[in-house]
A and B are shown apart, each in its own frame.
Chain A
Amino acid sequence: MAYQFDFGAILPHWKLLLDGVILTTELAAIGAVAGVGLGILGAWARTARTPFISQLVGVYVELIRNTPFLVQLFFIFFGLPALGVKLTEFQAAALAMIVNLGAYSTEIVRAGIQAIPAGQIEAAQSLAMNRVQIFRYIIIRPALKKIWPALSSQVVIVMLGSSVCSQIAAEELTFAANYIQGMNFRAFEVYFVTTGLYLVMSILLRQILKVFGNFLFERRNHA
């Protein structure tokens, strides 16, 4: 093969890559916390007795799940200013991730809620718990425990999906990679290193979520 690899050409730009990793991490963290929060709210609204709200959440879920993240991002960043909503690149990227993960986690959490035996809820009702108490103490924790692996995978998928936020010039990892590529034309090396960074990040994120899940669910069960 004629091509000579020169990974040394990447080294001078390590700071840009690090900044990219940090911004991707920030986006992922904001997206994960707010997105899962939105998902829990959405799942609760789906089980609520008001059909209108339940249907509205249903439409949101189907719309988001059946359109590409990139189009949602473009719609938010380029389309919303027409309505007078002007967002920075970072805000638009974060909002797109929250909205996207919110829809998926609504469905995932809902599946967990549906798996709670009806007897548990009836028992709680007979203890005179109100709806909020039942949701908080009886439903959500066992539901989350059950769907934690699925939720974790979805968080990782959304983190990786943030790579396309480079297209609205949010300065995350892929943006940094493109920038470096534009400076030294070492496309293959840059993207190779960046792909490796993403792989490490997704493996780390999965481990962190696993440990966090154990902390949330296991210890309290033994206590």
Chain B
Amino acid sequence: MPEFTLWDIVHNLLLAARWTVLLSIVAFVLGSIVGLVLLLVRTAGNRWAVRFVRCYVELFQGTPLLMQLFIVFFGLPLLGVDVSPWIAATFGLTLFTSAFLTEIWRGCVESVAKGQWEASNALGMNFTQQMRYVILPQALRIAVPPTVGFSVQVVKGTAVTSIIGFIELTKAGTMITNATYAPFTVYGCVAVLYFLICYPLSLYARYLEGKFRHVTR
């Protein structure tokens, strides 16, 4: 039986961690785009649009990410779409991310003073102009810290995709454990690697929070 040194374990985990990072970035970017569209639909739309977005958010925040992934992974093939774990993971995490970001950003848009809407309305701006020049620039400032903070949840969410067979950090940890019989060391290293990805993001979010609080005060 081959001997595994600690370096072998860490080296292989690092290779797998690339997929965790890549999946996180893709899900975050796609989720942001979908989230922004949902936000605009919700802010501009009629009663039904508002209701739709509210149900969407409720559905994704009120059910486990794992179930969402299962439905995408097992459901899409039934619709005739061939899904690899990579596609299912991206698709599922994008939906999850968009629901949370929409909700976070809605709070930010709503925290912009109502007078700003009225004033820009009085200047004859249409909705697009109001959003573009008045509301979003202000909401964006408030939105940056919680958005960075949420990115940590996306990174941690990618761990669940190991269950549908996407080989990222957690899945690699399981595979290496099966080969080395050293679960304590391997999962310890896995946890440390996640920490090294997530903690800087958390610190940055906290730094931004302090900075923006100072500005608005």
Contact = CB atoms under 8 A, between A and B. Distances in A.
Q: Is the interface of A mostly helix, strand, loop or mixed?
A: helix
A188 B78 CA distance: 8
A154 interface: no
Interface in A1-45: 1-3
Give the one of A63, A72, A199, A202 with max B CB within 10 A.
A199
Contacts of A199: 58-59, 62-63
Nearest to B183: A78
Contacts of A195: 63-64, 67-68, 71
B198 interface: yes
B117 interface: no
Contact of A79 (B68, B70, B78, B188): B188
Interface string B140-160: 000000000000100111111
Contacts of B173: 71, 74
B191 interface: yes
Contact of A174 (B59, B66, B79): B66
Contact of A80 (B65, B80, B184): B184
Nearest to B190: A71
Nearest to B163: A167
Interface of A: 1-3, 62-63, 65-72, 74-75, 78-83, 156, 160-164, 166-167, 174, 177, 187-188, 191-192, 194-195, 198-199, 202-203
Nearest to A76: B187
B174 interface: yes
Given A80-B184, A191-B71, A66 B195 contact: yes
A67 B79 CA distance: 35
Given A202-B63, A203-B62, A70 B183 contact: no
Contacts of A75: 183-184, 187-188, 191
A177 B82 CA distance: 23
A83 B184 contact: yes
25 contacts: A1-B78, A3-B78, A62-B202, A65-B152, A65-B202, A66-B156, A68-B155, A68-B158, A69-B156, A70-B160, A70-B163, A71-B187, A74-B170, A74-B187, A75-B187, A79-B183, A81-B183, A163-B64, A163-B65, A187-B75, A188-B75, A192-B71, A198-B62, A199-B59, A203-B62
Contacts of A82: 182-184
Interface of B: 58-59, 61-68, 70-71, 74-75, 78-80, 152, 155-160, 162-163, 170, 173-174, 177, 182-184, 187-188, 190-191, 194-195, 198-199, 202
Contacts, number: 127
Nearest to A206: B62
Nearest to A196: B63
Given A68-B156, A164-B163, A188-B75, A63 B63 contact: no
A195 B182 CA distance: 35
Nearest to B177: A78
A67 B63 CA distance: 21
Contact of B74 (A65, A67, A174, A188): A188
Contacts of A194: 67
Contacts of A174: 64, 66-67
Contact of A71 (B65, B159, B199): B159
A40 B67 CA distance: 31
Give the one of A72, A79, A161, A174 with max B CB within 10 A.
A79
A174 B65 CA distance: 11
A74 B172 CA distance: 13
**Shortest 6 CB-CB contacts between residues of A and residues of B:** A68-B159, A163-B64, A66-B198, A78-B183, A187-B74, A82-B184
